[in-house]
Structure 1
Amino acid sequence: MNFNNRRDFFKKIFTGLLTFAVAPKIASKANSFTIKMDTEGPFFTNGFKIAEVDTKTSMLWTRLCAQAEPNPVRHERIEKVFRHPIDFDENQEVSKMDGAVAGTEGLVRAIVKDKQGRVVFTSDWKKASAENDFTAQIPVKGLKPGHAYQIELEAKSTASRKVNYESGAFSTAPGRNDKVPVLLTTSTCQYFWSFDDKKRGFHTYDSMAKLNPDFFVHTGDYIYYDKPGPLAKNIEKARHKWHAMNGWPSLRDFFKKVPIYMIKDDHDVLKDDAYLGKGPYGDLTFQDGVKLWYENVPIDDKPYRTVRWGKDLQFWMVEGREYRSANDMEDGVEKSIWGKEQIDWFTKSVAESDATFKLLFTATPIVGPDREKKKDNHSNSNFSHEGEWLRRYLSSQKNMFVVNGDRHWQYVSKDAETGLMEFGSGPVSDYHVQGWDKGDVRREHQYLNLIGGFLSIHVDRKSGKPKISFKHRDVFGKEMHEESFIG
């Protein structure tokens, strides 16, 4: 299916889609309220995700819910960065918190249809139970490269025959020799209380949806355990962070039609600069955080992986928390963020690739520049040995670029020593921007902007020559800066 036909296909599908999401209502004061539980569930209040799409496979994720909409947002926020809630009772019952969504046991299955409406895959009924926070992950197999598909999810309780439905669509990756265009988007760092749309959640997701990208890469800090409203110092509150974020309508609608690949960072696991051996955070351990991440992120194998998308693009997503050395370890050949196993996999898979363009998605910077006080990434002196090796290695690869998360501002940097190019998408909302001074333009900076939004990346062929374009956009999708390269 060509690029334009694919977009026409999705336009027709989503014009007629029934959106089940109901926007959380905003109340001006943190007054008491009653949560109405609907016994006719289970509901798809936390939506679903189409993840890890490849040429023939995908992973589906959903959570079965007992209430048809999230708890309303009742608290007002402080008027400074991160917009923390005012007078939030950290000790109240989680079920009464803003954005809370109760789960429920039930059964769920997926039905996948091709463009002509023929059923090509039906999963078994999968049980969602309290043990895994009522989440379910369904592997989808037997698909064809470069094909468009519709998805129908069905959910029912174990005690009733009544079935609730949710629908979506996606396309598989094209074959490795297919010269087809690809459009993807990426962003990072989103805190529930940094929402910039009182009904929808985040403008960025609705703006990305208008571009109808082939897929989306989230480069970490999808949630923040260590920010108030609540501070997630136990498993119950940590799970609540996922429920509240996934309840925003802008996210739910976006993920119905755009596949996602997710990378974890420190706030997704425990707290700032997290690594194995650091912690706990209250009663929450690093191991708890890792378990909950896999509970909410459908990945079939290792957290580091690579995907080929046609002739002209291959991208790598690396893991920066599970294998890293302690921050306070003396720097040297043994100190690592990636670990030997991941480095060996990465260099081997890069050597085997004949894709025109190569993208490395990483949760943390490799080029930077970063603040001198930071200690947890490859652009810091704290990991300078591995960072210097990595920049030399990546710059030696033809048409390879770095796309990173974690930094709360938009930038394009070119390493002064190696010429390696790095693109920082910036955070999801302007309310999350902090950490860099507007006038602090370093020699590496090709672009610097203290705004939220996202990065769109377009690969196409013009007059037979492959071209890749990186466009930084604000939260409304307006183009702010572009860098393009011919393969």
Structure 2
Amino acid sequence: MDISSSPNRRAVLRGAAAAALATSLPTGSAVAAPGTPSGPVGSRLTLPSGLQTGDVTSSSAVLWSRASGEGRLHAVLHALDAAGERLPTGGRRRARGAGADGQPISLRGPWATADTDFTARISAEGLPAGTAFETELFFEDEHGRRSEVGAGRFRTAPGKRSDGAQTFVWTADTAGQGYGINPDVGGMFGYETMRTLAPDFLLHAGDTIYADGPIAETLEEPDGAVWRNVVTEEVAKVAETLREFRGRHSYNLLDDNIRAMYAEVPVIATWDDHETTNNWWPGEVLEDDAYTIRDVNTLAARGRRAWQEYQPIADVRALSPGSGFEPERIYRLIERGPDLDVFVLDMRTHKSENTDGLEQQSTSMLGEEQLQWLLKGLRRSQATWKVILADLPLGIVVPDGEGQESIANAENGAPLGRELELARLLSGLKAQKTRNVVFLTGDVHYCAAHHYSPDRAAFTDFDPFWEFVAGPINSGSFGPNEMDGTFGPEVDFQKAGPAMGSPRDGTGQFFGRVEIAPQGESFTVELIDANGDVQYTRTLTPQR
């Protein structure tokens, strides 16, 4: 499927987007990142970062927004009929559920203060399954004055019975290698391409920001063209302070395409390395002169806090003024009805040092607690398809100097190091007869489809499975990388842009789209470039 009917149409759409963005965001000088209250005292609060919905299940959703100053978040949810019109209502009521009977749901959330960079979220629970909602989010200040109102939409996942198809997209790598918001090309237009497909949700496989990559006013592309960026004070250097990490997230949300996408498409995100710094592991001490803070644990704690504040993630506890920050578990299960369960991994928090990966004993990517959680959750899952969102690939060799950044160690033989942990996962899935597991990932800045089989592998105690790779969505392009033969991968497809290639023409930027047929009868994967041109298609059928 090509969402744009012709190159001319794509050019027209991008030209219009560029013109609109150019009138709203200047380049060549710093833009004030929305972070502190602005305007005269007593002015109406605004929503400088738009709104988001996330972690949407059959009965719940997380609603997120950010204010220009202190205020309390409120949400009103209107159930929609099949034509997208609001259901009749006899009046507004306060509730944590309902909605299908036409009564709006009014919810009051926490105060947004400087402690959370003026972000806040509401967990809406007890929602009816398979129901579309129109959302209104706003803040009230201490005098009861309402902010501007942000409008959005989302649909809860199917309930016990699934009669329709379910679609979603996934990608990774936003604003990397110095490629930020460029009004000349319409900003981060890959997000608009994904939005146009009207998916039920977006999986972001990590590198949601590049805290370690300064964004300058101009950048010379490999072919000599000049890339222009909108810039803010916080993106001018590597992020070290909490303010700078927060500024990376608020920077991305200056982009019209991202804000429009997040207002209409719920996000399920994980983090990877660039939310902190390149290829980091816990306990690392940096040797990079760009940093005055060399302790990675300090940087990671600040990066994690900023990431959690800016994500509509269900596991984050609401913060009240002065309460401090308490990190919550990033790995989690999002239940999407009888056809789909999404298992979101955290392959960074429990990661071992980036050695050569040749240890005889198991080293860590998931950690024992997460590994057992994943095996148990997959064993209990009644969904036809089990998607594992991994922020690092399984069999792709990702060098980090003389060490290895990912699981593979480039030796092709029996499992060693982190491969031993993956072997335990795969053999455990076989032993408990877990079927229809699909891995989705990003990280490597190209798209690919890999089939793993014991028939080709050095380690054979597992059932065949697929891994699909997508990204970048707005970063430099790289790859393709070598594959490690330990688990028998076969490259069914791969495509990469030029090394450090820019997002300018969209041909080296990628996302994936999945369509699950009613009753889970098929699982169709498309790898698509940022222009909407499908590069690859594969349809899987379930093992019963």
1: CA distance, partners of 2:30 / 2:131: 50
Determine the structure 1 residue equivalent to 2:292.
282
Structure 1 match to 2:158: 174
- 2:425 pairs with one of 390, 394, 403: 390
- 2:384·2:520 contact (CA, 8 Å) conserved in 1? no
Alpha-carbon spacing, 1:208–1:33, altered in 2? closer, same or farther (3 Å): closer
Cα 1:388–1:165 shift into 2, 3 Å: same
Residues 221-260 of structure 1: pairs in structure 2 closer than 5 A: 221-228=207-214, 229-260=236-267
Kept in 2, the 8 Å contact 1:224–1:267? The answer is yes
TM-score of the aligned structures, taking structure 1 as reference length: 0.79
Q: Secondary structure at the match of 2:443?
A: coil
Is 1:211 the counterpart of 2:211? The answer is: no
Deviation at 1:325, TM superposition (A): 2.5
Could you tell me which residue of structure 2 aligns to residue 412 of structure 1?
449
2:325 aligns with none
Name the SS for the 2:245 alignment partner: helix
Partner of 2:391: 363
Q: Do 1:220 and 1:262's aligned partners in 2 also have CA atoms closer than 8 Å?
A: yes
Assess if the C-alpha contact under 8 Å between 1:112 and 1:149 holds in 2.
yes
User: Which 10-residue stretch deviates more, 396-405 or 341-350?
Assistant: 396-405
What are the ranges of 5 or more consecutive residues in structure 2 without an aligned counterpart? Answer: 1-19, 81-86, 89-101, 215-235, 316-328, 411-416, 497-507
Structure 2 counterpart of 1:436, from 452, 477, 480: 480
Q: CA deviation at 1:274?
A: 1.9
Aligned equivalent of 1:343? 371
Q: Which residue matches 1:188? A: 172
Report if aligned partners of 2:53, 2:267 keep a CA contact under 8 Å in 1: yes
- Decide which of 144, 157, 162 is 2:141's aligned counterpart: 157
Task: Write the distance in 1 (CA, Å) between the matches of 2:132 and 2:56.
Answer: 12
Deviations 1:2-59 (A, max 9, x none): xxxxxxxxxxxxxxxxxxxx84656564489999944433211201110111111111
Match of 1:422 among 456, 467, 471: 467
Task: Report the Cα offset of residue 338 of structure 1.
Answer: 0.8
Listed as ranges, the gaps of 5+ residues in structure 1 are: 1-21, 66-103
Deviations 1:343-379 (A, max 9, x none): 1111111111232222111000013254585622223
| Equivalent position to 2:439, from 402, 420, 431 | 402
Per-residue CA deviation, residues 127-153 of structure 1 (Å, 9 max, x unaligned), is 111111111111111211111111111
Q: Could you tell me which amino acid in structure 2 is paired with residue 208 of structure 1? A: M
Contact 2:397 2:481 in 1 (8 A): no
**Residues 375 and 188 (structure 1), Cα distance of their counterparts in 2 relative to 1, 3 Å cut:** same
| Aligned-partner SS, 1:153 | strand
Does the Cα contact within 8 Å between 2:362 and 2:419 map onto a contact in 1? no
Residue aligning to 1:128? 112
State the distance in 2 between where 1:341 and 1:196 align.
Answer: 39
Pairing of 1:258-273 with structure 2 (within 5 A): 258-268=265-275, 270-273=276-279
Structure 2 match to 1:101: none
Equivalent AA in structure 2 for residue 352 of structure 1: R
Q: Quick one: distance in 2 between partners of 1:196 and 1:444?
A: 36
Summarize the Cα distance change of 1:274–1:139 in structure 2 as closer, same or farther, 3 Å threshold. same
**2:338 paired residue number:** 311
Give RMSD over aligned pairs: 3.1
Q: Which amino acid aligns with 1:444?
A: E
For residues 74-153 of structure 1, what are the structure 2 equivalents within 5 Å? 104-115=69-80, 116=87, 118-153=102-137
* Counterpart residue identity of residue 399, structure 1: N
What's the CA shift string for 1:274-313, capped at 9, x where partnerless? 2221247534522222222221223333311122323222
Q: Offset of 1:163 from its aligned partner? A: 3.3
Give me the whole-angstrom Cα distance separating, in 2, the residues matched to 1:191 and 1:456: 21
Kept in 2: contact 1:156–1:164 (CA 8 A): no
The alpha-carbon distance between structure 1 residues 362 and 180, as it changes in their structure 2 partners (threshold 3 A), is same
Distance 1:203 1:335, change over 3 A: same
Pick closer, same or farther for the CA change 1:413–1:369 going to 2, 3 Å. farther
Q: Is the alpha carbon distance of 1:437 and 1:26 closer, same or farther for their aligned partners in structure 2, counting shifts above 3 Å?
A: farther
Is 1:446 matched with 2:492?
Answer: yes
Q: Which moved more, 1:139-148 or 1:155-164?
A: 155-164
Cα distance in 2, alignment partners of residues 469 and 250 from structure 1: 26
Separation in 1, partners of 2:369, 2:250? 33
Shift of residue 333, structure 1, vs aligned partner: 4.3
- How many Å apart are 1:481 and its aligned residue? 0.4
Which secondary structure state, in structure 2, belongs to the residue aligned with residue 444 of structure 1?
A: strand
Using the alignment, how far apart are the partners of 1:330 and 1:478 within structure 2? 41
Query: How far apart are 1:258 and its partner, in Å?
Result: 0.6
Q: Are residues 169 and 297 of structure 1, via their aligned partners in 2, closer, same or farther at CA, if it must alter by over 3 Å?
A: same
Say which is worse superposed, 252-261 or 420-429, in terms of deviation: 420-429
Q: Distance in 2 between matches of 1:159 and 1:63?
A: 18
Q: What is the DSSP-based 3-state SS (H/G/I as helix, E as strand, rest coil) of the residue aligned with 2:157?
A: coil
Distance 1:62 1:32, change over 3 A: closer
What is residue 9 of structure 1 aligned with on the other side?
Answer: none
The verdict on how the C-alpha distance between 1:436 and 1:153 changes in structure 2, with shifts beyond 3 A counting, is same
**Counterpart-to-counterpart distance in 2, 1:469 and 1:310:** 18
Deviates more, 1:194-203 or 1:216-225: 194-203
**Once the 2 structures are TM-superposed, how far is the Cα of residue 182 of structure 1 from its aligned partner?**
0.4
Count of residue pairs brought into register by the alignment: 424
Distance 1:213 1:387 in 2: 31
| Amino acid paired to 1:384 | E
Q: How does 1:21-60 map to 2 (within 5 A)?
A: 23=21, 25=24, 27=26, 29-30=28-29, 37-39=38-40, 40-60=43-63
2:408 to 364, 379, 390: 379
Contact 1:411 1:426 in 2 (8 A): no
